[in-house]
Structure formats: C-alpha cells, structure tokens
Amino acid sequence: MAGLGPLLASLAAIDIAAFTERLKRNAVLYAFAMVFLLTAYVLAVAALAVYLGQMWGLPVALLVVAGGALVLAFVMLVWIAMENRAEERRRREAAAANSSKALMVTAALSALPLVLKSRPLLLASVAAGLGFLLMRNMGSASSQTDDPAE
C-alpha cells in the first residue's frame, strides 16, 4: 500500500502534463484555423463587393454590403436579447418555485409539533398523506394506460 501513493502521484503528473501539452497544441491549431476563417470571410465580403460593384457601381455595392452586415448584426442583437430575457424569466420562475417549496416545508415543520401532540390530527394527516400518494400513483397509472398512441 505504501508504494501506491508515489505511483498514483506520478500517474497524475503524467496526465496533467499530457493535458497541458494537448491544451497548448489545440490552442495554437484553433488560432490558425480562426485566422484562416477570418481571411476567408474578409475575402468573401470583398468578392461580393467587387461583384456588386461591377453591377451597380462601387459606392452602392459597398453600401449594400455594409447594410447587410448591419442587418445581420441587428438580428443577432435581437436574438441575444430574447435569449437573455427567456433565461431571466426561467431563473425567476425557478427561484419562485424554490421559495414556495421552502415556504411549504417551513409551514409543515412549524405545524409538526402540534400535529404530533394531537392524536386525531396525526391520524388525519397520515390518512391525507396516504390518500395524496394513492391519488398521485393512480393518476400516473391511468395516464399511462389511456395513452391514445398505443
């Protein structure tokens, strides 16, 4: 057992060294790929401007290309704003659901000593809990058997 510690430490060091080496290599390769992609994008936009310049004249062609880029940027900004609003709404709904659950648990825990002291309330709460579980299980079972797709 004593020899296992140094072996695991050296194995972890090899994995960390391999990971950092792979990370460096991938960063360099992704940087080169990004340079080539940006070059291709710039050349495609320039080719579009030259093509449109032959048809409509250079100033109009550059205005059309700039307008297209502006419209695409606006569409992306609207899309980002809509996604941010939806994410904020989901976050608020989750927080509200969590707070209402916490409130219900707190109310149940504060009523627990009263229920435990009173035998009729204890029996009624146990019966209500069992009834809830039975109805919940029956509801899920009936929804599985009443499936029109089968």
Q: For residue range 31-74, what is the model confidence (pLDDT) as tens digits?
A: 999 999 999 999 999 999 999 999 999 899 999 999 999 999 99
Q: What is the pLDDT of residue 46?
A: 93
Which sequence spans correspond to the domains of the chain? 16-100, 110-142
Measured distance CA(109)–CA(118) in Å, rounded: 15
Q: What is the pLDDT of residue 29?
A: 94
How many angstroms from the chain centroid is the CA of residue 79? 16
Instruction: Report DSSP letters for 77-134, one per residue.
Output: HHHHHHHHHHHHHHHHHHHHHHHHHHHHHHHHHHHHHHHHH-HHHHHHHHHHHHHHHH
Q: What is the pLDDT of residues 76-132, one digit of tens each?
A: 999 999 999 999 999 988 888 777 777 777 877 777 777 777 778 778 878 888 888
